[in-house]
Amino acid sequence: MSDQLLFDPDLAPAVPEGLTSEQRIALWVDVMKASDEFLFAGLRREVGPDGDIHAAYRRWYADQMEEHDRTMRRMVENMARRLEKS
């Protein structure tokens, strides 16, 4: 995924100290919901107000899974080559 930007983890906001497990999970859920909202907003922008947002999501997801599969294949092939050399 060479077109993806990687951010410096040191620039990420810190999780507040002293949170319970439930509070940490609630924070994570909030972040995931916000991510979904951004994704669907981008898809809505692509398909327009009358477009099929669910079909757009299915296409997006299929593309993501194809890219994931390609990445996993490359990783396995690289590991196999390294094992052959050792």
Which residue type does 61 have?
Y
Can you tell me the distance from the alpha carbon of 52 to that of 65, in angstroms, rounded to the nearest whole number?
20
Residue 10 lies in a domain: no
Residue 65 lies in a domain: yes
Entry pTM = 0.69
Q: Which domain holds residue 31?
A: 20-85
Residue 12 lies in a domain: no
Residue 7 lies in a domain: no
Can you tell me the distance from the alpha carbon of 24 to that of 18, in angstroms, rounded to the nearest whole number?
10
Tally the domains of the chain: 1
Three-state SS for 28? helix
What size, in residues, is the chain? 86
Residue 36 lies in a domain: yes
pLDDT at 1 over 60: no
Can you tell me the distance from the alpha carbon of 54 to that of 59, in angstroms, rounded to the nearest whole number?
9
Residue 5 lies in a domain: no
| 56 close to 43: Cβ distance less than 8 angstroms | yes
pLDDT at 29 over 50: yes
